[in-house]
């Protein structure tokens, strides 16, 4: 049994929220630079240049990459040999989000769904905890923007729709989103599971490094095929027309009920912010 004080979790979440909002990952920077070099549309190439410039200004001047500093989604992989002391895990995470958004000058973007009154501190964060082997805690803080989340969809297809039906839904979701989710986007696809599990699979797919290959060769091939299809829409960077509407398509799949074919498409903007900390 390894003891971890939850105040270390609060501190880690706070730092991760601030870092994620100011520093784009190397994988993303690389993908943007590649886009600038390969996009066919001159306007599109200019958009890539400006996004790289934006990332530089954010990092150097400590200004958030995007003013929508997101709803904080926190994934916790909790080792089963860890004994948490000093308080409750969820409270510690919420405290970390509260402190990070306040002290990091991040925008608080959560409100009551009906009165629309801002909660004032960007809590509650959405937390997913998984118990895993080992004596470590892995925290992944994902500030998720509203613009791209709004364009995401869950479809409960008939099994007869098959792979063709899945492809059509992915392309349709991207096409309908158009310029709204700040393309170039990353498309997370969850196939199978239940209604809510499909969405979670899609969201987790967004955490994979951009440019990495799916370890499942069947899914890796599908990802390439889906990416080609999505990039035929012509939406392009900032929606101004071009070949690179998406930087990547990531797919997660699991078995589903014999009566169902759930498909979730979680759209992620180019401000793909996530920060991982291991305690």
Q: Contact positions toward ligand SF4, by CB under 6 A? A: 66, 68, 145-148, 181-182, 269, 271
Q: In the block, which residue shows the tokens 């929508």?
A: 68
CA distance linking residue 14 with residue 99, whole number of Å: 6
**Cβ pair 28, 210 in contact under 8 A:** yes
Please tell me whether residue 141 binds another protein under the rule CB under 8 A. Answer: no
CB neighbourhood size of 7 (10 A): 14
How many positions of this chain bind another protein (CB under 8 A)? 51
Residue 38 binds another protein (CB under 8 A): no
Determine, following the binding rule CB under 8 A, whether residue 58 of this chain makes contact with another protein.
yes
Between 108 and 136, whose beta carbon lies closer to another protein?
A: 108
Q: What are phi and psi of 39, to 5 degrees?
A: -60, 135
Least separation in angstroms between CB 256 and ligand SF4: 29
Q: Is 153 in the site for another protein (CB under 8 A)?
A: no
How long a stretch of residues is the chain? Answer: 279
Q: What are phi and psi of 175, to 5 degrees?
A: -65, -45
Least separation in angstroms between residue 190's CB and another protein is 23
Q: What angle do CA 75, 10, 20 make, to 5 degrees?
A: 55
Is residue 40 at the binding interface for another protein, with CB under 8 A as the rule? yes
Binding positions for another protein, rule: CB under 8 A: 40-41, 43, 47, 50-51, 53-55, 57-58, 61-69, 105-109, 116, 118, 120, 145-147, 150, 178-182, 232-236, 238-243, 269-271
């Amino acid at each position: 049994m390894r003891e971890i004080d939850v105040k270390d979790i609060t501190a880690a979440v706070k730092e991760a929220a601030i870092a994620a909002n100011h520093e784009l990952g190397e994988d993303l920077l690389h993908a943007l630079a590649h886009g600038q070099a390969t996009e066919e549309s001159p306007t599109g190439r200019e958009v890539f240049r400006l996004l790289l410039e934006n990332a530089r200004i954010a990092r150097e001047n400590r200004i958030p990459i995007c003013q929508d500093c997101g709803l904080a989604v926190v994934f916790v992989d909790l080792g089963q040999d860890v004994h948490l002391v000093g308080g409750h895990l969820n409270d510690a995470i919420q405290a970390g989000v509260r402190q990070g958004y306040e002290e990091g000058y991040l925008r608080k973007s959560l409100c009551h769904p009906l009165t629309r009154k801002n909660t004032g501190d960007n809590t509650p964060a959405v937390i997913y905890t998984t118990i895993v082997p080992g004596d470590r805690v892995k925290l992944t803080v994902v500030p998720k923007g509203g613009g791209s989340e709004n364009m995401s969809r869950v479809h409960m297809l008939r099994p007869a729709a098959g792979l063709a039906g899945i492809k059509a839904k992915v392309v349709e979701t991207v096409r309908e989103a158009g310029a709204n989710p700040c393309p170039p986007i990353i498309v997370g696809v969850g196939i199978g599971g239940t209604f809510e599990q499909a969405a979670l699979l899609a969201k987790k797919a967004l955490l994979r490094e951009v440019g990495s290959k799916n370890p499942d060769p069947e899914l890796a091939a599908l990802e390439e095929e889906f990416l080609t299809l999505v990039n035929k829409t012509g939406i392009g960077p900032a929606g101004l027309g071009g070949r690179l509407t998406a930087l990547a398509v990531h797919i997660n799949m699991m078995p589903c009920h014999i009566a169902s074919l759930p498909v979730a498409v979680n759209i992620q903007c180019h401000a793909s912010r996530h920060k991982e900390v291991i305690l």
